[in-house]
Structure 1
Amino acid sequence: MTNTSVGWSIPIGKTRYNKTVYHNINKIPHAKVAGATGSGKTEFLRYLVTYMCMRYSPKQLEFIIIDLKNGVSFAPFQWFPHVRGIFKTVPEAVKAVKEAYQTMVERLIEVERLRAVFRREPVYSRLIVLIDEGGELSPAFAVTEEDKEMRKTAMHYLSSIARIGREPRVNIIYGTQRPDADTLPVAIRGQLEGVFCFRTENELDSKIVLRHEGAEKLRWIPGRYLYKSPLVKHDIEIQSPYVPERVLKRLIEPLIPSNTFYDIPRDEVRFKDEQMEQGDDDIGLDNVIRIGDWGE
């Protein structure tokens, strides 16, 4: 079931010594991305999707993207042919996770039948379930009992994928601010061996993510994080890559159908460049330090 013709080492940034670091999805199929608001988690996830969609064909790679910030962070990515869908609400997220679970089960059944008669196994496309703000999916934040049961079902599916999704090539990238017991059950958290920990608010949050202090001491530079996996001896401080909006637009705009548009009356909307107030320093993710530029 392993596609030996495709390399799955993804560049995830550079160290202060200008050395590129890679994350191997074949060897570390599941990962968690954590850190405080504004630390660069979502921009890093957007980079991962962009890079992988540009490198691999839709026959090699598919995404199920769960963006529980109402889809605002990943809206343009719906046009990539690799993306099965952008799921924006808890009910949609539950259906999406169930879909990934069913894909995994169907593949396992097929492989079992083929192995029983010594037949050659197919090479499946890699299916990545990418979740941004996974804390919004937690049963701890349910409003009603029905809502709570629905969220528990999603966590049950995710737990199964985390345990047995490696061989059928169904993987999880789980993004959240603080992956504690409320937002990410231990049964899932322990299987997400790849760790991308951006700056945390305090020592406790760092211990929850990394099992030790340190992330709270990272310089407050968007995209700066500590990388941890079973394949490295110690945590590596990395500056993550970043895809500027103009580059993303150049890549995705040709994929948008010509008859797609949103007609919003000009006097009913304030555009981003009109929302800057005098005195704003214009420092944000649009100006994040590019990969390899560490600065002073």
Structure 2
Amino acid sequence: MFSWLKRKPKQVDELKKDKQPNLNSSEKSNDLSVYIEDGKAIAERITETINAPTIIGSDISGIMNDTLQHIDVQIQLAVSTIIQTTVLEDYVYPAVTLLNEQPETVRDIDLAALEENKSNLVTALNSFGVNIQSIAATVGPTETLFEIVPAVGVRIAKIVNLKEDISLTLNAPGISIIAPIPGKGTIGISIPNKVRQTVYIRSLIETELSSSDNMELPISLGKRSDNTDYIADLTALPHLLVAGATGQGKSVGINAIIVSLLYRKHPSELKFVMIDTKQVELVAYEPIANYFLAKLPTGKSAIVTDATKAIDTLGALCLEMDNRYELLKDASVRNIKDYHRKAENDSRDYRHKDLPYIVLIIEEFADLMIRSGREVEMPLTRLAQTGRVVGIHLIISTQHPSSDVITANLKANFLGRISFKVTSKINSRTILDVNGAETLLGNGDMLIAINNEVQRIQCAYISNAEVDKVVESIANQQGYPTAYLLPETDTSGWNDATINLRYRDKMFNDCARLVVQMQSGSTSNIQRRFNLGYNKAGRIMDQLEAAGIVGPAYGSNPREVYYKTELEIESFLQSLK
């Protein structure tokens, strides 16, 4: 946990100086009355948070106890902001005993077969004119890595070009050549094992929990060819692109990433935004919505399954990102880690707000792109470009890694890429920029490329039953009253009937003058001229349409502008006052 979680949260000191909620009660409750004992105090905090007129304190507890669905959206956000940092100090992390142990019967290494493979490999290389000085073998879970030292004068390129010939000679499909092995003066030739070993996630979690590495978001991915654990820090990647054909281990890999984060992070440190248009892959995490998930204020479920809601959610995340940048600017820091460090050591008030890391997970991105296309790509590109600084990280998964789905704009911002077995070399090059993923063995065999360095990993295995146990252990504890609420947004579905021009954006008049001066109703022009986010610029453009200043959108073309002179628009703006 962050070290500042060890002290009592600031909001608790202000709201409950004498009393603490009974978090040790055996009866779990998410009723707001558990947390709110002084209605007047909480009302003052809500008023301060949303910058609204004073709320009658004596009535606020009753309002909250009815249901959050009937409270104004701004009050919901304020309540969520306050309560999310006042409780769960007694949260208990899931126990590793919930996960399956590696079977005690360790696979016996067939030394005779190993020596035979060594001899066959040396013979095959010699037959192609490649002499070697030495050879050593390391047996991994999926493949055996043979490290060879070529004789003086043998070119590395010659060995690499013999890959297919060696595979044919040894009758071993799916071999890979690492030339040279980073940090060693050897060349690696990996040959698949006849009997593969399953890598259970429990062993990786235990290593992760006992490690002294100071990773912010550690994710347990699997084991390398040399049998060492592969644990990466998501904040260093900082985004992850995952691809693989159906049934090759992609969904298991996503579950392994999620569960490894659940084992290391407190609910106040981490939130997931989950988008699953397939509606079946991420539904298992719905019970922990009030602990680790984030959603729209108007959303019924924390797992987004509708493409339209997905667009709104991405817009809300962009707005959350913009708000976080404002907080970092006020605190005079450059990233979320420095922000939390300063909050711990600096007692000055600079509108500090506890900012959990947010991990966006999209299951089957291709389906979302087919339905929404550019409406999805634009906010995702923004998040990928600038989200890491404020603690927003993306994990996107797809079965169809084509250039139509993984566009150049997206790909340029995803330095971490994972590919399970795919159907063609073209798909392998699309996701990794190199061939090889088409020759993988399936069942969790994967290639991971970080900064163009490719490694072969056997993905950690976690069953659906194990996921359910971990989720249940979290859901049986005291939770927050609601999921973490993202900022209110409405990037789609606006029309003249739903927009009240009495509540125009404060930039409405300036934007109206701009579109008339340029005679072009372009949202991107508004973004560039006034340095606005995609979400806000789109909302203003919808208001301009509702006011009759611009016409409806026609694809990617600018909207028609109905007012032709500055005198006409000024007269109209005066009539709106």
TM-score tier by shorter-chain length is 0.7 to 0.9
State the aligned residue count.
242
Give the aligned partner of residue 319 of structure 2. 102
Give the secondary structure class of the aligned counterpart of 2:225: coil
**1:171-182 alignment runs, 5 A limit:** 171-182=393-404
Q: Does residue 205 of the first structure (1) align with residue 427 of the second (2)?
A: yes
Q: How far apart are the structure 2 equivalents of 1:99 and 1:176?
A: 23
8 Å contact kept, 1:200–1:206? yes
Give the secondary structure class of the aligned counterpart of 2:275: strand
Q: Give the partner amino acid of 1:236.
A: Q
Give the aligned partner of residue 82 of structure 1. 292
8 Å contact kept, 2:276–2:282? yes
Give the aligned partner of residue 68 of structure 1. 277
Q: Does residue 133 of the first structure (1) align with residue 364 of the second (2)?
A: yes
Q: Give the partner amino acid of 2:447.
A: L
Uncovered stretches (5+) of structure 1, i.e. residues with no partner: 143-147, 258-296
Deviation, structure 1 residue 6: 5.7
Q: Does residue 24 of the first structure (1) align with residue 255 of the second (2)?
A: no
**1:119-268 alignment runs, 5 A limit:** 120=342, 124-138=355-369, 141-142=370-371, 148=372, 151-220=373-442, 222-230=443-451, 234-255=453-474
8 Å contact kept, 1:44–1:240? yes
8 Å contact kept, 1:74–1:86? yes
| TM-score w.r.t. length of structure 2 | 0.40
Give the secondary structure class of the aligned counterpart of 1:237: strand
| TM-score w.r.t. length of structure 1 | 0.75
Deviation, structure 1 residue 24: 1.6
Deviation, structure 1 residue 214: 0.4
Q: What whole-Å deviation, never above 9, does each CA across 1:56-80 have from its counterpart, x for those lacking one?
A: 111111100111202x111111122
Q: How far apart are the structure 1 equivalents of 2:284 and 2:217?
A: 24
Q: How far apart are the structure 2 equivalents of 1:93 and 1:7?
A: 27
Q: How far apart are the structure 1 equivalents of 2:388 and 2:474?
A: 31
Q: What whole-Å deviation, never above 9, does each CA across 1:133-171 have from its counterpart, x for those lacking one?
A: 001111xx24xxxxx4xx422221111000001110111
Deviation, structure 1 residue 125: 1.2
Q: How far apart are the structure 2 equivalents of 1:255 and 1:227?
A: 31
Deviation, structure 1 residue 245: 2.4
Deviation, structure 1 residue 10: 2.2
Give the secondary structure class of the aligned counterpart of 1:44: helix
Q: How far apart are the structure 2 equivalents of 1:101 and 1:172?
A: 12
Q: How far apart are the structure 2 equivalents of 1:6 and 1:30?
A: 15
> Structure 1 residues 37 and 22, CA, compared in 2 at 3 Å: closer, same or farther?
same
Q: Give the partner amino acid of 1:83.
A: L
Give the secondary structure class of the aligned counterpart of 1:48: helix
Give the aligned partner of residue 332 of structure 2. 115
Q: How far apart are the structure 2 equivalents of 1:9 and 1:249?
A: 21
Q: Which stretch of the first structure deviates more once superposed, 119-128 or 61-70?
A: 119-128
Deviation, structure 1 residue 95: 1.7
Q: How far apart are the structure 1 equivalents of 2:434 and 2:469?
A: 41
Give the secondary structure class of the aligned counterpart of 1:173: strand
Deviation, structure 1 residue 35: 1.1
Deviation, structure 1 residue 126: 0.8
Q: How far apart are the structure 2 equivalents of 1:163 and 1:207?
A: 22
Deviation, structure 1 residue 8: 2.8
Larger gyration radius, structure 1 or structure 2: 2
Q: Give the partner amino acid of 2:247.
A: G
Give the aligned partner of residue 263 of structure 2. 54
Q: How far apart are the structure 1 equivalents of 2:416 and 2:232?
A: 8
Deviation, structure 1 residue 246: 2.5
Q: Give the partner amino acid of 2:282.
A: F
Q: How far apart are the structure 2 equivalents of 1:6 and 1:183?
A: 31
Uncovered stretches (5+) of structure 2, i.e. residues with no partner: 4-212, 295-301, 334-338, 344-351, 477-577
Deviation, structure 1 residue 247: 1.8
8 Å contact kept, 1:63–1:129? yes
> Structure 1 residues 35 and 6, CA, compared in 2 at 3 Å: closer, same or farther?
closer
Give the aligned partner of residue 278 of structure 1. none
8 Å contact kept, 1:33–1:196? yes
